[in-house]
Amino acid sequence: MTKTINLTLKMWRQKGPDAKGGLETYDAKNISTDMSFLEMIDVINEQLALEGQDPIAFDHDCREGICGMCGTVVNGRPHGPEKGTTLCQLHMRHFSDGDTLVIEPWRSKAFPVIKDLVVDRSALDQIIQAGGYISVNTGGTPEANTIPVSQQTAELSMDAAACIGCGACVAACPNASAMLFVGAKISHLVLLPQGKPEAANRALAMVRKMDALCFGNCTNERECEAECPKEISITTIARLNREFLTASFLSAIP
């Protein structure tokens, strides 16, 4: 038999970017513990629609923990209380009957609120556009074994490439830093031979764009690592710093 719980939701509501927002209280009754967190919000929205009220706006797409679209702060934790889990993969069985949940959008100057729980995360796209790619024309598909890559290096690169760009690291950081995101994107390219020719320009361009977009700096608080749904290691930030300092030094040599 499916278990149900009753919750009190303190939900952030904001009509638009320039509107004043605030928390509004909703009763979530008879919520199945088999539901995901987003399905629970769907139920609340159906209720609001039947009452003629404006549904709660929130980001979502694949609902499989792949796309990075979902994400809110639940009781102070980006993506909620479960480690290594996106909001869409968080199930209501992790909450207890009678719980009060405070649900807010990402908080960062670089992520302005569009409406309710929806924020503009295009700043992350702009960082990628600044240099998070390989532009070398390689022609046809090369033989996979032409360039030897050790298993350890390949694993480190793939671990960094797991970043889905959800922005939880920014929301978790007291400085709203995007360095875990940038570190992951730089790491997964620079660790492989194909990414090395543009490594210096990539590091300089991405860090400068990150600073221009008003993200904060890293102070090694490690909240980003703790809240990342893909459990990206903070060592990617160390690699980012090394790549940036090396590129800065080389660019200063006449």
**Same domain, yes or no: 101 and 130:** no
Q: Please report which confidence band the pLDDT of residue 254 belongs to, taking 50, 70 and 90 as the band edges.
A: low
Q: pLDDT digit string (tens) for 49-99? A: 999 999 999 999 999 999 999 999 999 999 999 999 999 999 999 999 999
- The total number of structural domains in the chain stands at 2
What is the overall mean pLDDT for the chain? 94
User: Looking at the predicted structure, is the pLDDT value of residue 141 above 80?
Assistant: no
Of 55, 81, 114, which closes a domain? 114
The span from the CA of 248 to the CA of 70, in Å, is 36
**Same domain, yes or no: 140 and 199:** yes
Enclosing domain of residue 199: 122-252
**Same domain, yes or no: 101 and 140:** no
**Same domain, yes or no: 159 and 93:** no
The span from the CA of 207 to the CA of 152, in Å, is 26
**Same domain, yes or no: 83 and 131:** no
Identify which of 242, 67, 68, 63 has the alpha carbon closest to the alpha carbon of residue 169: 68
pTM of the model: 0.93
**Same domain, yes or no: 52 and 171:** no
**Same domain, yes or no: 130 and 235:** yes
**Same domain, yes or no: 96 and 147:** no
CATH number assigned to the domain comprising residue 245: 1.10.1060.10
CATH number assigned to the domain comprising residue 42: 3.10.20.30
Backbone angles phi, psi at 203, to 5 degrees: -60, -45
User: Looking at the predicted structure, is the pLDDT value of residue 142 above 80?
Assistant: no
**Same domain, yes or no: 207 and 147:** yes
Residue 73's pLDDT is 98
Of 114, 135, 156, which closes a domain? 114
Q: Please report which confidence band the pLDDT of residue 178 belongs to, taking 50, 70 and 90 as the band edges.
A: very high
**Same domain, yes or no: 132 and 104:** no
